[in-house]
Structure 1
Amino acid sequence: MDSIEVVIAHQERATLRVGDVFLKVDADQKRTDAEVAAMALAPLPTPEILWRRPPVLALAALPGVALGVLGEPSPASPAAWAAAGAAARTLHDTSLPPWPGRTVDDWASELDREYTWLITNAVLPTALVTRNRRVAEAALRPWTPAFIHGDFQLTHVFTDGDALTGVLDWSEAAPGDPMFDLATLTLGHEERLTDVLRGYGPGADPDMIRAWWSLRSLVVIRWLSENGFDPSAPGCEIDVLKAQL
Structure 2
Amino acid sequence: MKPTLLRKTIAEAVERDLGPVSQWSTVSEGEESQVFGIRLGDEDLILRINNVADDFQKDAFCQKHFATSELPIPEVLSIGAVGPFSYCVSRRAAGVTLQDLPTAALPDVIGSVAGVLRTIAQSPLHETRGYGRFDARGNAEHSSWRDFLASISLGQHYDWKSVETSVGGPWLERHLSLFMDFVPQCPEFRCLVHGDFGSNNVLTDGVSITGVIDWSEALFGDPLYDVANIFFWRPWLACMEAQARYFLECEPQAMGDPVVLRCYQLRIGLQQIHEAAKAGSEEDLRWAMARCEALAADLPV
TM range (shorter): 0.7 to 0.9
Deviation digits for residues 29-74 of structure 1 (CA, Å, limit 9, x no counterpart) = 44332220111222301224343325321123322222227xxx95
Cα shift at 1:239 = 3.7
Work out whether 1:49 is the aligned partner of 2:94. no
Q: Is the 8 A contact 2:131 2:148 kept in 1?
A: no
Matched, 1:35 2:59: yes
After superposition, where does 1:217-232 map in structure 2 within 5 Å? 217-227=269-279, 229-230=281-282, 232=284
The Cα shift of 1:238 comes to 2.9
TM-superposed deviation, 1:214: 0.9
User: Aligned residue pairs: how many?
Assistant: 238
Alignment pair present for 1:175 and 2:212: no
TM-fit CA distance, 1:158: 1.6
Alignment partner of 1:17 out of 27, 36, 42: 36
Listed one character per residue, the Cα deviations across residues 124-179 of structure 1 (whole Å, up to 9, x for unaligned) are 58458624752565355341110122222421012222422211102333422211
> Residues 136 and 24 of structure 1: is their aligned pair in 2 closer, same or farther, counting only changes over 3 Å?
farther
Q: 1:91 aligns with which of 102, 115, 120?
A: 120
User: Tell me, which stretches of 5 or more residues in structure 2 are unaligned?
Assistant: 1-22, 39-43, 133-141, 236-240
* TM-score using structure 2 length: 0.64
Cα offset for 1:87? Answer: 0.6
Q: Structure 1 residues 207, 193: closer, same or farther in 2, change over 3 A?
A: farther
Aligned equivalents of 1:131, 1:225: Cα separation in 2: 16
Residue 107 in structure 1 maps to residue 107 in structure 2 = no
Q: Tell me how large the CA RMSD over aligned residues is.
A: 3.5
- The equivalent position to 2:195 in structure 1, one of 150, 161, 164, is 150
Question: Pairwise mapping of residues 61-210 of structure 1 onto structure 2 (< 5 A)?
Answer: 61-68=92-99, 76-99=105-128, 100-102=130-132, 103=142, 104-113=146-155, 116-117=160-161, 120-121=164-165, 123-124=167-168, 126=170, 130-131=174-175, 133-135=177-179, 137-139=181-183, 141-189=186-234, 191=241, 192-196=243-247, 202=253, 204-205=255-256, 206-210=258-262
Q: Gaps spanning 5+ residues in structure 1: where?
A: none
1:216 maps to amino acid: I
Shift of 1:92: 0.6
Once the two structures are TM-superposed, the CA of residue 182 in structure 1 deviates from its matched residue by: 1.5
Between the two structures, name the one with larger relative contact order (CA 8 Å, sep ≥ 6). Answer: 1
Distance of aligned partners of 1:115 and 1:172 in 2 relative to their CA distance in 1, 3 Å threshold: closer
Deviation, 1:204, is 3.8
- Higher mean alpha-carbon deviation, 133-142 vs 181-190, is at 133-142
Deviation at 1:119, TM superposition (A): 8.1
| TM-score computed with the length of structure 1 as normaliser | 0.76
Compare 100-109 and 35-44 and name the one that shifted more.
Answer: 100-109
Identity, % of aligned pairs? 22
In structure 2, the residue matched to 1:60 is 91
The 8 Å contact of residues 225 and 231 in structure 1, kept in 2 or not, is answered as no
2:94 partner letter: P
Which residue is 2:263 aligned to? 211
